[in-house]
Amino acid sequence: MLNVGDTVADFELADQSGRRVALGDMLTAGPLVVYFYIKAKTPG
């Protein structure tokens, strides 16, 4: 679990259009909320 003030390594993911987006690039625009969820209808 992350806590306020923790840092994470930069990473890239594809957006809804398939374009690669880097966390570091998004942070230059200001604060960012990153939310992960388990894919629908998968165990876990």
Q: Report the DSSP beta bridge partners of residue 14.
A: 20
d(CA 18, CA 16) in angstroms, rounded, equals: 6
> According to the model, what pLDDT value does residue 3 have?
86
> According to the model, what pLDDT value does residue 37 have?
74
Q: What is the number of domains present in the chain? A: 1
> According to the model, what pLDDT value does residue 44 have?
61
pLDDT, tens digit, for every residue of 1-44? 778 888 889 999 898 899 999 999 998 988 888 777 777 777 76
Q: Show the domain range for 13.
A: 1-44
Q: How many residues does the chain have?
A: 44
d(CA 4, CA 7) in angstroms, rounded, equals: 9
